[in-house]
A = this chain, B = another copy of it.
Amino acid sequence: MNPPIGIISMFYARPFLAAHFPLFERMKRAGMDFVELLVPEPGELDLARTRDALRDAGLGVVLAARVNLQRDLASDDPAAHAAGITYLEYCVDTAAALGAQIVGGPLYGAPLVFAGRAPTPAVEAQRLPRVDRVVAALRRVGGRAAAQGVRLAVEPLNRFETDFASTTAQGIELAQRVDEPAVGLLLDTFHMNMEDGDLPQAIAQAAPHLVHFQANECHRGFVGTGHVDWTGVARALTRAGYAGPITLEPFRRSEQRLGVGLAQWRAPTEDEDTPLAASAAFLRAALALARQEQA
């Protein structure tokens, strides 16, 4: 069977509130098997009602954690580090309440551009304790996750979004150091396109740790409209025996006026369900072909 394919909630709306529950049926009609919800901040969503709405629409759910400089496992500020642990525990409990089995994202913290932080040289005397802090915290939260049937999926981000883990190799090193079955990896082809020289090889190397996947085009438009080698990616996922969820996050809107930045989030201005459905169909077909090829 193909891995389930889903859509990130902020494709449609941010923040995602109860008023947006009717979107669940629309996602389903566009061919989505699940929604990846940004972890709601306290009070944003009633979890029991959200779980009911997802069930009514026949959608599964995966959670995306949101870190910042105030909740940051990598931080040398004890308060920010502690708040990072508290937040991840909150994410795990929220997942359990929603019936989600995966909490993904750059769980280690250390945001750059979206926190307005510029890259600075890594000093070895700071780097080593930073790695140790992240590893210990992920192990600790991983234990809580395991007890609730939830897994953490740690995502390497491109060099401009973090200075902690950017390549798949760095992600694998982190997963190996944490060495806790409930803590695995999330790979996102948008970041891999920038940081990995050979995407299929990176997927093969990460296979033992892979619990979540995000299929994003090079420019973050719809899958199939850029130059990512999707048949190669589909073959690699199939060879890796990957059966976990695959999320689409096509944030980039069609208009390209000069002086409109591409990294900022923008709400959709037109109905994008048709290209979304086409991207999902394209990816499903590539995965099916890879499965037949390897049968």
Q: Does A147 contact B (CB under 8 A)?
A: no
* A219 CB contact (under 8 Å) in B131, B195, B219: B195
Residue numbers of A with Cβ under 8 A of B are: 74, 112-122, 127-128, 130-131, 158-167, 169-170, 173-174, 177, 193-199, 217-219, 221, 225-227, 229, 256-264, 266
Q: Is A113's CB under 8 angstroms from B160's CB?
A: yes
CA of A160 to CA of B190, assembled, Å: 13
Q: Is B116's CB under 8 angstroms from A118's CB?
A: yes
Q: How many protomers of this protein does the assembly include?
A: 2
Q: Is A193's CB under 8 angstroms from B193's CB?
A: yes
| Shortest Cβ distance from A264 into B: residue | B119
* A262 CB contact (under 8 Å) in B130, B159, B259: B159
**Could you write out 20 A-B pairs with CB less than 8 Å apart?**
A113-B118, A114-B118, A120-B261, A122-B260, A122-B261, A128-B259, A131-B259, A163-B259, A163-B261, A163-B262, A166-B262, A170-B257, A173-B258, A193-B218, A195-B219, A195-B262, A196-B219, A197-B225, A197-B227, A198-B226
Q: Closest CB-CB distance, A166 to chain B, in whole Å?
A: 5
Residues of B within 8 A of A198 (CB): 226-227
Q: Closest CB-CB distance, A251 to chain B, in whole Å?
A: 10
Residues of B within 8 A of A119 (CB): 113-114, 261, 263-264
CA of A121 to CA of B225, assembled, Å: 25
Q: Is B263's CB under 8 angstroms from A159's CB?
A: yes
* A160 CB contact (under 8 Å) in B127, B131, B160, B163: B160
Q: Closest CB-CB distance, A218 to chain B, in whole Å?
A: 6
CA of A131 to CA of B116, assembled, Å: 23
| Shortest Cβ distance from A257 into B: residue | B127
9 further A-B contacts with Cβ under 8 Å, apart from A114-B119, A167-B256, are A122-B260, A130-B259, A162-B261, A165-B259, A170-B256, A193-B227, A196-B219, A197-B221, A227-B229
State whether A261 and B219 are in contact (beta carbons under 8 Å apart), knowing that A113-B118, A119-B114 are contacts in the complex: no
CA of A170 to CA of B277, assembled, Å: 28
CA of A196 to CA of B218, assembled, Å: 8
CA of A260 to CA of B195, assembled, Å: 13
Q: Closest CB-CB distance, A168 to chain B, in whole Å?
A: 10
| Shortest Cβ distance from A131 into B: residue | B259
Q: Is B160's CB under 8 angstroms from A161's CB?
A: yes
